[in-house]
């Protein structure tokens, strides 16, 4: 990596991302051997009027700087006052504040990159009726405002990048971090194809599951959702059943991989069917854990032994009560995001960071060696 920088580094953490941004800042300061009281974080906020209207405000110069804005549009723990009422911020509110901060920069920065782990309106990525294409419009709006790069994680549909073909769009997958967390939590886990299998919960997750199975040399199974296309409930055709396609998984551990857990109903249904088919332990990898309908049904499923552990990243907000659950494991992504920012600020390639193959193989080899040494001792 070269020693020159694209511009003076500046990191802005939007509301709700303060702790995450501070940890990223600490990593970069440590690598660059800066004194403790220095920071790359610029102070910015969006104060609101009593009516709920807001404005973007930055408290230092952005001229000539390489700016990285970290934004979690799904942090519903952030609130504001409107007509005396306390209102939780919706994804729309977070997105509007992001645009306000970009507007406040006023074109003075040398480059603006937005790190939005879970893409705003990422699930509204295609049109099946007279519907809006919110995600594509948002990406185009950000690039039209002067954003050079958009970095997101495990996009619901990576083809959304076609909305901005002449701008930077990086879709990052936390594959290495998930596998590392599994090995740490379950050091006895075997990565033999006789002991472990990858299963996709639906057709949409096949791409990421194929990546895991190819990387680890494991068999791959899948479920497909049989829907009732004659009925629309809550804007969707309801799922009538999950049908399994794949090899026998009796007595095997299973990794189920998806981009998110929203309500969790489909995921729990898949796990229950896997158990009925003889799966030993079920590990769920989901980049984003939203748990929109609460945790009670996950508690019940865990008590019944339907799944063993759920791994999600800290890229979106998680309640303290979720973090305290025995069945839950948070996967810290701060160091990885710091690597991305540090590398890009040096104007260097991030190809090696985006491809985890070498790191995963090194991790698995070390795990196999440690397991062999323990069995021989």
**Do residue 165 and residue 185 come from a single domain?**
no
Whether 29 and 93 map to the same domain: the answer is: yes
Q: Which domain holds residue 185?
A: 175-314+360-367
Considering only residues 331 and 32, tell me which one the structure prediction assigns the higher pLDDT: 331
Instruction: Note the pLDDT tens digit of each residue in 150-181.
Output: 999 999 999 999 999 999 999 999 999 999 99
Beta strands in the chain (DSSP E): 8-13, 44-45, 57-58, 65-70, 79-82, 85-88, 111-115, 149-153, 168-172, 196-200, 219-227, 239-245, 253-261, 282-289, 309-313, 328-331
Flag whether pLDDT at 278 surpasses 70.
Answer: yes
The rounded distance, in Å, linking the Cα atoms of 109 and 111 is 5
Minimum mean pLDDT range among 35-49, 127-141, 224-238, 276-290? 224-238
- Does 137 share its domain with 229? no
pLDDT at 69: 98
For the domain that residue 80 is a member of, what is the CATH number? 3.40.50.2020
Q: How far is 351 from 18, CA to CA, in rounded Å?
A: 28
Q: Mean pLDDT over residues 334-345, rounded?
A: 97
pLDDT digits (tens, 9 = 90+) for 289-309: 999 999 999 999 999 999 999
On whether residue 289 sits in a domain, the answer given is yes
Structural domain contains residue 195: yes
- Per-residue confidence (pLDDT) for residue 37, from 0 to 100: 74
pLDDT at 235: 65
Question: In this structure, are 30 and 167 located in the same domain?
Answer: yes
What is the band of 204 on the pLDDT scale with cuts at 50, 70, 90? Answer: confident
- Is 197 domain-assigned? yes
CA end-to-end span of the chain: 42
Do 145 and 210 share a domain, yes or no?
A: no
The most confident of the ranges 110-119, 196-205, 221-230 is: 110-119
Residue 321, domain member (yes or no):
no
| Judgement on whether residues 247 and 235 belong to the same structural domain of the protein | yes
85 and 141 fall within a common domain = yes
Same domain membership, residue 160 and residue 17? yes
- Nearest by Cα to 246 from 277, 273, 221: 221
305 within some domain: yes
Domain annotation covers residue 373: no
- For residue 5, the model assigns a pLDDT of 82
**What average pLDDT does this structure show over 107-121?**
96
Confidence of residue 123 (pLDDT cuts 50, 70, 90): confident
Is the Cβ–Cβ distance between 156 and 111 less than 8 Å?
A: no
Q: What is the pLDDT of residue 276?
A: 94
Domain identity same for 129 and 239: no
* Residue 223 sits in the same domain as residue 255: yes
**Across 82-103, average pLDDT:** 97
pLDDT for residue 121: 92
In a domain, 323, yes or no: no
My answer on whether 18 and 130 are in the same domain is yes
The answer on 221 and 159 residing in a single domain is no
34-50 average pLDDT score:
88
pLDDT at site 203: 86
Total tally of structural domains belonging to the chain: 2
pLDDT, average across residues 36-56: 93
pTM for this entry: 0.92
Question: Which residue in 116, 180, 208 sits closest to 332, CA to CA?
Answer: 180
Q: What is the mean pLDDT of residues 107-112?
A: 96
Q: Answer yes or no: is 327 within a domain.
A: no
């Amino acid at each position: 990596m070269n020693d020159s920088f694209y511009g003076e580094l500046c990191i802005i953490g939007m509301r709700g991302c303060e702790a995450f941004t501070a940890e990223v800042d600490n990593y970069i300061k440590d690598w660059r051997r800066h004194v403790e009281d220095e920071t790359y974080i610029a102070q910015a906020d969006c104060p609101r009027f009593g009516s709920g209207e807001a404005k973007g405000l930055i408290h230092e110069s952005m001229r000539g700087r390489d700016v990285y804005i970290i934004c979690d549009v799904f942090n519903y723990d952030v609130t504001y006052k409107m007509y005396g009422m306390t209102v939780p911020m919706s994804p729309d509110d977070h997105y509007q504040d992001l645009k306000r901060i970009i507007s406040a920069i006023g074109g003075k920065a040398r480059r603006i990159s937005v790190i939005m782990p879970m893409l705003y309106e990422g699930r509204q990525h295609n049109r099946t009726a007279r519907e809006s294409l919110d995600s594509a419009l948002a990406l185009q709006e950000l690039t039209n405002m002067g954003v050079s790069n958009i970095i997101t994680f495990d996009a619901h549909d990576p083809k959304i990048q076609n909305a901005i073909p002449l701008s930077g769009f990086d879709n990052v997958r936390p594959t290495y971090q998930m596998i590392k967390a599994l090995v740490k939590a379950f050091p006895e886990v075997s990565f033999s194809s006789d002991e472990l299998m990858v299963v996709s919960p639906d057709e949409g997750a096949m791409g990421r599951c194929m990546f895991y199975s190819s990387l680890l040399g494991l068999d791959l199974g899948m479920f497909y959702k049989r829907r009732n296309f004659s009925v629309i409930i809550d804007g969707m055709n309801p799922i009538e059943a999950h049908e399994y396609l794949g090899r026998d998984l009796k007595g095997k551990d299973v990794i189920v991989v998806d981009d998110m857990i929203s309500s969790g109903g489909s995921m729990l249904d898949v796990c229950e069917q896997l158990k009925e088919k003889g799966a030993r332990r079920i590990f769920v990898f989901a980049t984003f854990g939203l748990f929109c309908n609460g945790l009670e049904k996950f508690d019940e499923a865990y008590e019944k032994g339907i799944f063993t552990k759920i791994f999600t990243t800290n890229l979106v907000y998680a309640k303290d009560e979720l973090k305290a659950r025995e069945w839950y494991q948070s996967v810290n992504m701060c160091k990885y995001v710091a690597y991305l920012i540090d590398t890009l600020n040096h104007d260097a390639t991030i190809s090696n960071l985006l491809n985890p193959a070498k790191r995963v193989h090194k991790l698995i080899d070390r795990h196999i060696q440690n397991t062999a040494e323990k069995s021989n001792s």
